[in-house]
Chains A and B, each alone.
Chain A
Amino acid sequence: MTEMVHGAAPLRAGEAILPRWWRTVDRWTISCVLMLFGVGLLLCLAASPPLAARNGLPPFYYVERQAVFGALGLAAMFLTSMLSPGTLRRLGVLGFVGGLVALFLLPVLGTDFGKGAVRWFSLGFASVQPSEFLKPAFVVLVAWLLAAARTPNGPPGTLISLGFTVLVVGLLAIQPDFGQAALILFTWGVMYFVAGAPVVLMLGLGGAALGAGVVAYNSSAHFARRIDGFLAPELDPRTQLYFAANAIKEGGFWGVGVGEGQVKRSLPDAHTDFIIAVAAEEYGLVMVMFVLALFATITLRALARLMRERDAFIRLAGTGLVCMFAVQALINVGVSVRLLPAKGMTLPFVSYGGSSLLATGIAMGMILALTRTRPQGGIGDILLRRT
């Protein structure tokens, strides 16, 4: 199966790594990511001092941490983006094994930080959420399996990948972390769709997912409460959702002004899950639209580049990663505007969180690596080859 990526024609030998990287990488996406990170730092400056004060920490404690982890995350992104698809696949599969082990160990060694779900390993100086790191690795593994399934005399990759999906979703559901579980399930669905799933089957799977949601609603109080909160026409004024909705309304078009926002004082998750509410309140609709535009640009550019990609593995892995990234952003913002039920989902690169930043950096690095310009056997490639 090593030929799987043989379609990815080797780039010219002899060219220095960095210039070649700079020439082939999607620089627009990099700019968008950097801007997102900048916005994240700016919002962290606004949202976290009240929290730091509440926890008895120096006012810019969280900002500093965000900057440090952001630098780490960006470094990871740049390093990852230089990997070749083959290396990426190898490391991804290994990472998946490691992540799976970590997920298995969670019930034993994990902690719930008093939030009712065991999702974290506490390392003292920081906490690590293994599922964040598992996600990109999972995408790589599934892409590999799905691509392999398409080769002549290949393994039954689709079924195997489905098995892994069910395993991971199950592990996430027992934490419980239905948000991540749904994200994993959705990503697998999208990848299978792009890999050429029969349309009828996709519709069937959509129905099954709906059914699973109903079952989860009926069997888990945690889950049911969130959905009920979403379906209630009147917002309970004591919930985070209410504060978030009110903050968006307060902000209006131009915002109430830097540092004038109030929602960050009343929302415990203002710096993570509801960061967009802080943005909407202080900087107004303009800032929210800017953030949304950045996310949309990253997503659409990556998809456009993947459309040209002729290698199945690269195409699938890239699609999975980009969809995961976009859906996460959509869910986060959608919750704040009450389009979706409340679900703890961070806004990639913008929300505070070391583990999330690092994992997102790696995932974005993978996207960059997979969307690098490669000879695709087209006429234009001759030019590329000659230069």
Chain B
Amino acid sequence: MTRTPLRPLARILQSRARGENPDAIERENIRLRAEADRARAHARAEGRLLVLAVAFFLAFSVVGLRMGLEAASDPREPTMATRGGDAITANRADIVDRQGRVLATNLVTHALYAQPPQMVDPARAARELAAIFPDEDAERLEARFTREGARFVWVRRRMSPEQLQAVHDIGEPGLLFGPREMRLYPNGRMAAHVLGGASFGREDVRAAEVIGVAGVERIFDTELRDPAAGGAPLRLSLDLSIQAAVTEVLERGVAMMSARGGTAILMEARTGQIVALVSLPDFDPNDRPSPLVEGDPADSPLFNRAVQGVYELGSVFKAFPVAQALDRGILRPDSIVDTAGPLRWGRFRITDFRSRGARQSVSDIFVHSSNIGTARIAQMMGIEAQQEFLGQIGLLEASPVELTEAPQGRPLTPRNWSELSMMTISYGHGLSVSPMHLAAAYAPLVNGGTTVTPSLVQRPRVPAGEQVISAEASAAFNVMMRETVARGTATMANVAGYHVGGKTGTADKPRATGGYYEGKVIATFVGAWPMPDPEYLLVVTLDEPVETSGTEPRRTAGWTAVPVAGEIIRRTAPMLGMRPDVAGPRADAVSSMRP
């Protein structure tokens, strides 16, 4: 504290002079000063308290005013927008086939949820719900309803109208319904792998987002959900009736050959538009199975063999060196090539399945599928030419087809593309591709030489692709294709009146541990018809087929994939609006089609 000298000193001196005790005066001085201090403090405090009082009055006024404003504004329901993000749009566009037939649409259904605080008798509600939904357990439900702090419980994602009525009849006010749009695939398993499936995304009491989880549903998810599109359906290039026919035939074929699975792709040879795509075993997209957690993923019905199944496809690859050699003018169909076997390369021996002499024409090499001859042809052109050509026809990268699974079907190329690799690849070993790759790669070979982009979406006009081989080379190649079916390895596909051409391939399945299995093959047939100017291209692949009608089991494509493909062509060609050529070309027409 500040210490002020006692004042007035003069008074004290005077009193001392008078002989009085100055202490009383000093005390009086102290008292007076303290009083003055207090008075000053009091005055200041008075002002400051007034400030405080005004401040509090203002504060109370502001709070009251704010309360009045709040009370005057309208109450709001909790909206979905406040959850962050956009409102849920619940009108997913339909998916239709090329004729406009519905492949996927929406069905209005209801979700069931409970608000335990509003429930009257949770135990009874749980009991009755368990009676309506056999897969619900009364005790578990009751436990969920009565759990401490439970305010909201989802019970069912969706239910039938009958179940809705039954739940309604329980009369429990705490059980509530939320409208839902459910994705429905009215054709069941048909085109399951193409469509993929959908499930619920963000969920709300009022609506739930339907999102695609696989196939075109996933690839075109944004477009299908886009409210700006106005619900215009997504039109696929698939044809539902053709798809159904192909599925039926392939299913029977797979069963008959005891195959593990199979796939068929029917494509327009000039445009790459896919008319049918089947992979077996398949599933019902309305009730999509869960993925396998162990074992070979290829055993799951979800596995799309057409794009995910990457295999060494065998002799069907022979088309590529042959067509390339024809295009480059190195060989003509009647050029003679040395096919003396076995062809040795280091420690490796290349042999033919059935030797047909030491010298064969290119045409015979293709028709009778000579490994040695093809390897020699590949040697004539070299590694770089092979890589360039395979790259041009799309065999070295993932297929661009509009399926989520397609990027997983990336071709497996040899790590070190040696001369030996080049020779084995020429007859279909050492390079693994999917059947979709094969279809897209064969298209330029048979359609006059332009590449195609395989596509599942209907397009009014498809721009012509890059010219990779000349029209003449393609025509000569088509002759060989036709001959293979007419007199070679694929005679069972010779459907009367449609001039089918094709090539078979039987490849031993590689073991996971290295080497190849005995008696486990991938049998493939690539067909195109009608020759000489094919409109459609068909790839049929069977996984581990066995044909047991003969004395010993037969596994080659000629006995397995080819008859299935033949049946597919016989069934679908009329549906595709093609007239059989009943008169048929004369016997010599095969070689006289082109001068």
Q: Is B575 an interface residue (CB 8 A)?
A: no
Q: Is the CB of A252 within 8 A of B38?
A: no
Hey, which chain B residues are within 8 Å of A150, CB to CB?
37, 41
Residues of B within 8 A of A292 (CB): 60, 63-64, 67
**Cβ proximity bits A279-315 to B, threshold 8 Å, 1 near / 0 not:** 0100011001100100110011001101101101001
The yes or no answer to B1 lying at the interface (CB within 8 A) is: yes
Q: Cβ of B380 < 8 Å from any Cβ of A?
A: no
Do A310 and B38 form a contact, CB below 8 Å, given A153-B3, A194-B52, A319-B52?
yes
Whether the pair A295, B60 counts as a contact (CB closer than 8 A) is yes
Contacts of A149 in B (CB 8 A): 1
Question: Would you call A339 and B45 a contact (CB within 8 A)?
Answer: no
Q: How far is the CA of A157 from the CA of B34 in the complex (A)?
A: 17
For A280, what are the chain B residues with a Cβ–Cβ distance below 8 Å?
Answer: 67, 70-71
Question: Is there an interface contact between A288 and B52, defined as CB atoms closer than 8 Å?
Answer: no
Query: Are B82 and A234 neighbours in the complex by a CB distance under 8 Å?
Result: yes
Q: How far is the CA of A315 from the CA of B67 in the complex (A)?
A: 32
Is B232 an interface position by the 8 A CB rule? no
Known contacts A237-B82, A303-B52: does B70 contact A337 (CB below 8 Å)?
yes
Per-residue CB contact flags for chain A residues 318-352 toward chain B (1 = under 8 Å, else 0) read 01000100100010011011110000000000000
- Nearest-neighbour CB distance to chain B for A303, whole angstroms, equals 4
A47-80 vs B, Cβ < 8 Å mask (1 yes, 0 no)? 0000000100000000000000000000000000
Chain A positions 221 through 247: 1 when the CB is less than 8 Å from some CB of chain B, otherwise 0: 000000000000011110000100110
Say how far A283's CB is from chain B's closest CB, in angstroms.
11
Residues of A within 8 A of B46 (CB): 307
Residue A38 lies at the interface, judged by CB distance under 8 Å to chain B? no
Q: Does A130 contact B (CB under 8 A)?
A: no
B41 touches A303 (CB 8 A): no
Complexed CA–CA distance, A285 and B72 (Å): 9
A326: chain B residues within 8 A (beta carbon): 56, 59-60
B71: nearest residue on chain A (CB-CB)? A285
The answer to whether A248 touches B70 (Cβ under 8 A) is yes
Interface residues of B, count at CB 8 A: 41
Decide yes or no whether B132 CB sits under 8 A from chain A: no
- Contact residues of A between 146 and 205, Cβ < 8 Å to B: 149-154, 190, 193-196
A309 to B45, CA, bound (A): 9
CB-contact partner of B78 in A242, A265, A338, under 8 A: A242
B1 contacts across to A, CB distance below 8 A:
149, 151-154
**Given A249-B73, A300-B56, CB of A319 within 8 Å of CB of B49:** yes
| Cβ of A335 to closest chain B Cβ, rounded Å | 10
| B62 proximity list for chain A (CB < 8 A) | 339
Of the candidates A196, A246, A333, which one forms a contact with B41 in the assembled complex, judged by CB atoms under 8 Å apart? A196
Inter-chain contact B66/A337, CB cutoff 8 Å: yes
Q: What is the bound-complex CA distance between A236 and B81, given in angstroms?
A: 10
Q: Is B49 touching A194 in the complex (CB atoms < 8 A)?
A: yes
Question: Could you say which residues of chain A place their CB within 8 Å of the CB of B72?
Answer: 252-253
The residue in chain B whose Cβ has the minimal distance to the Cβ of A296 is B60
Q: How close is A137's CB to chain B, nearest CB, in angstroms?
A: 22
B76 interface residue (CB < 8 Å to A): yes
- Min Cβ gap A48→B in Å is 15
B44 touches A196 (CB 8 A): yes
Least CB distance, A328 to chain B, in whole angstroms: 12
Which secondary structure dominates chain B's binding surface?
A: helix
Interface residues on A, range: 35 or more
Task: Report whether B33 and A288 are in contact in the complex, using a CB–CB cutoff of 8 Å.
Answer: no
Cβ 8 A contact of B52, one of A196, A285, A295, A323: A323
Query: Which of A153, A284, A295, A339 has its CB near the most chain B CB atoms (within 10 A)?
Result: A339
B70 x A304 contact (CB < 8 A): no
Q: How far is the CA of A304 from the CA of B50 in the complex (A)?
A: 8
Min CB gap A292→B, angstroms? 5
* Residue contact B64 to A312, C-beta cutoff 8 Å: no
- Please, which residues of chain B bring their CB within 8 A of the CB of A330? 56, 59-60, 63
Least CB separation from A288: chain B residue: B67
Most chain A C-beta atoms within 10 Å of own C-beta, residue among B33, B41, B117:
B41
Any B CB within 8 A of the CB of A353: no
| Neighbouring A residues of B66 by C-beta, 8 Å | 334, 337-339
The residues of A that contact B75 with a CB separation of less than 8 Å are 246, 249-250
Chain A residue numbers with a CB within 8 Å of B49 are: 194, 303, 306-307, 315, 319
B30, CB-defined interface residue at 8 Å:
yes
Kindly state whether residue A7 has any CB partner on chain B within 8 Å. Answer: yes
Which residues of chain A are within 8 angstroms of B156 by Cβ–Cβ distance?
Answer: none
Give the distance to chain A from B27, nearest Cβ to Cβ, in Å: 12
A330 to B66, CA, bound (A): 12
> A89 to chain B: closest CB distance in Å?
17
Q: Is the CB of B45 within 8 A of A194?
A: yes
Chain B residues numbered 1-53 whose CB sits less than 8 Å from any CB in chain A = 1, 3, 30, 33-34, 37-39, 41-42, 44-46, 48-50, 52-53
In the complex, are the beta carbons of A333 and B67 less than 8 A apart? yes
A354 adjacent to chain B (CB < 8 Å): no
Cβ-based interface call for B135 (8 A): no
Which residues of A from 244 to 285 have beta carbons under 8 Å from B? 245-246, 248-253, 265-266, 280, 284-285
Report the minimal beta-carbon distance from A301 to chain B, rounded to whole angstroms.
10
Within 8 A of A (CB), among B481-509: none
Nearest 6 pairs between A and B by C-beta?
Answer: A237-B78, A249-B75, A303-B53, A285-B71, A296-B60, A337-B66
List 10 A-B residue pairs with CB atoms under 8 Å apart, sorted by A's residue number. A151-B34, A153-B1, A196-B45, A237-B83, A253-B71, A288-B64, A288-B67, A303-B56, A307-B50, A337-B67
Residues of B within 8 A of A (CB): 1, 3, 30, 33-34, 37-39, 41-42, 44-46, 48-50, 52-53, 56-57, 59-60, 62-64, 66-68, 70-76, 78-79, 82-83, 117, 151
- Given pairs A152-B3, A319-B52, 9 additional interface contacts (CB within 8 A): A149-B1, A153-B3, A234-B82, A237-B78, A242-B78, A288-B67, A307-B46, A310-B38, A337-B63
